[in-house]
Structure formats: structure tokens, C-alpha cells
Amino acid sequence: MDQTTARSTSVTVADVAHKAGVSKATAARVLGGYGTVSDRVRAAVVAAARELDYRPNELARSMTTGRSGTIGVVVGDIENPFFSLAVRGITDVARQAGFTVILINSGEDLVAERAAIRTLLAKRVDGLIVSPAKETDVEHLHEAVRSGLPLALLDRGSDTLDVDTVIADDRHAAENITRRLITLGHSRIAYLTACDTPSHRFRTVRDIGTGSVRRRIEGFLAVCREAGLTGMEDWVHVGAVSSEHTHRIVTEMLQSAQRPTAVIASDSIIGLEVFKVHRQLGLSIPDDLSLVSFHDADWTSVTTPPVTVVRQPVYDLGATAAKLLVERLNGEAGPARKVILKTEILERASMREVF
């Protein structure tokens, strides 16, 4: 063990008080940042703490002040560039406001998400930012809210939770890109998502428990109906939850007799797998297949051809959620706020007409 670390962690408030020539209560007020003392006393205590290399006991301080200085964050898949960028937005805002982020990955598993919330509550976090695995099963989040803990939802809302929520305009984004593909003459358009269903097959949007995914599929199907395309539910593929699952789904899809002429990938990880499989099968983008991916990941702009994407304000989603939560922690009252951020289509060379 490092001797410096061992020595600094053993230094107590009483040691600092003795060194500064003040009472323990006075030193505690200075070190805890509460109460009032003279500038002279504050300077003496700070100098003594620095000389002794005093390190505060965070648990003790949280019990005294009622604050731990931490924000708990639960997301579905930290390996997904979408969530990693959103978390960057959260941590940047939190750090500026004086909070440390405790991050837990749920793996889009409801049981793991419940356990994560229990863990964060036990750690006495000051607030929560959660991207729920299933918007219809959020009783554990209701319990957190009932305990008085501020909560903000990231990317996925819930009709039953009256809390601050930050989402993207997912339905409009799906509508816009689907309409663009139909304008280019496509009618065999596949939509591929990581979200799974109990039967591992898509039947209706009611099967989809993740709101952002559900809104996109609703937008996709609505535009297809407007264009007179029927049976498009059969072109929605769920269960692309890993590279292995995605590879199998895409391979079967692209080798079928009714091969799609266009694929909409619900995230950049799925989009990358589609790109890999099309090459393995000797197909060409965009001659044989048009490809669109949600999320403007780095790889999408450097492939040949570069891939058309729906650019989402991912960093801003995280930063805005953190901003709303910090405002609540600083005493902001009033009704729950819902912020919807706009997306945009970056049209590159991976789409073509099929007339």
C-alpha cells in the first residue's frame, strides 16, 4: 500500500482542527462547506488540511450534508457508440456542476436494471439518469421517485412516469428516411433493430417495449401505408442483439428470394454488420442494396461508399438530461419537462434509385 495514501486517509477532522488551532466543529464546517466562519479561520483550516494532506470521508460527509455529490446513470449498452457519447454529455455537465457520475450498464436486461437501481440507491446517489430497458415495466423507477430522488429519463420516455425526459424525434426521423427511400423507388425496405420480442418475431408495435424503437417502427410503417405498401410488418426484423444474431439475420435476409433493396439499421453497430455481410455475399452498395443507419458513427463516413445516416443529437441528449437533473438538485420545481431534440439526414452515397 502506498504510504502517502494510507497516511492521508487516516488524517481526521480532529487532526486538522488541532493543527489549525480551532475546534473540531469549526474545522468540520470549513471542510464540509456549510455554516459560516471568518476568512482568517477558513484560511487556517484549509492550510492545515493541505499540509496534512487531509482527504474527506465521502460517506461521513454525505451523512452530514445529505448529499453524496454523485449522480447514478443506467444505460442499455455502453459498448454502443450511441450510449458512450450520451454518457460523455452527461459527465461533462455533471462535472461542471460538481457531481461525479456512477455508471452502470444494464445490457438492456430488466433484472439487471432493477439491480442497478438498488445499488445506486444504496450508494446514496443524489439523482438518477436512466434509459429504461422497458418503458412499460418501470415500477422500480417509481419506487426511486417515491423515495424523493430526482430522476431524468434518457432517450426513452414512459407514459407512467411524471419525470423530466429527453428524447430525439425518432418517429419523424424514421418517417423522413423511409419517405426518401420510397421516393427513390424502393418498396422492399427492411427495418432491422436490436430490440427483441417475446416470440423473437415482430408482429405489432405493441410488442416493442422500448419507446425509441417503437416510435421509429411506427414512423416506418405509417409512411409505408401512406405510399400504399402492404404487409410491411413482415419487413421489420427484431433480435439483432449481438453481432452473431445480426450476422445471421442479415445473411438470411440478403440471401432470400425476396431480398430487400434497402435496409434501415436502427443503430450503427447493426449498420456495420449489414455492411460486412453485404461484402461477404459479393453484393454491392448501392447497386444491389441501399443502406441507411441511425447514428453518425465515425465508420459511416470513411467506408466505400460512405453510408447515409440519421444523425442524432446524441451528446446533447446526455448533456440536456444532466442539465435538467442538476437543476432539480439545485431546487428547480414545477411540472415534469419533456425535451425533444431534432435529428437530420446526412445523405451520402449508399442510396440509389431502383426505377
Q: For domain 170-311, is the CATH number 3.20.20.70?
A: no
Distance of alpha carbon 24 from alpha carbon 43, whole angstroms: 15
Would you state the CATH architecture of domain 13-56?
Orthogonal Bundle (1.10)
d(CA 288, CA 260): 9
Residue type at 305 in one-letter notation: P
Same fold, 69-168+314-343 and 170-311: yes
Q: Which CATH class is domain 69-168+314-343?
A: alpha beta
- pLDDT recorded at residue 136: 83
Q: What is the pLDDT of residue 6?
A: 41
Query: By the 8 A CB rule, do 209 and 222 touch?
Result: no
pLDDT above 50 for 1: no
Residue 179: what pLDDT? 97
Residue range 202-259, pLDDT digits in tens = 878 777 878 888 899 999 999 999 999 999 999 999 989 889 999 999 999 999 999 9
The yes-or-no verdict on residue 21 having pLDDT over 50 is yes
Q: Is the pLDDT of residue 5 over 50?
A: no
Backbone φ and ψ of 74, nearest 5°: -125, 120
CA 31/CA 27 separation, integer angstroms: 6
Mean pLDDT estimate for the chain: 90
Q: What is the pLDDT of residue 93?
A: 96
- In the chain, what are the domain boundaries? 13-56, 69-168+314-343, 170-311
Per-residue pLDDT tens for 49-69? Answer: 889 888 766 555 555 555 778
Q: Name the band, by pLDDT with cuts 50, 70 and 90, for residue 178.
A: very high
* CA-closest candidate to residue 349, choices 297, 304, 284: 304
Q: Supply the pTM of this predicted model.
A: 0.80
Asked whether residue 156 carries a pLDDT value surpassing 80, the answer given is yes
Mean pLDDT is lowest, of 46-50, 103-107, 221-225, for 46-50
pLDDT at 7: 43
Section 148-158 average pLDDT: 94
Grid look-up 418517429 returns 171
57-71, 203-217, 273-287, 307-321: the lowest-pLDDT one: 57-71
Q: Give dist(CA 226, CA 204) in Å, integer.
A: 18
Q: Decide the pairing of beta strands 164-168 and 151-154.
A: parallel
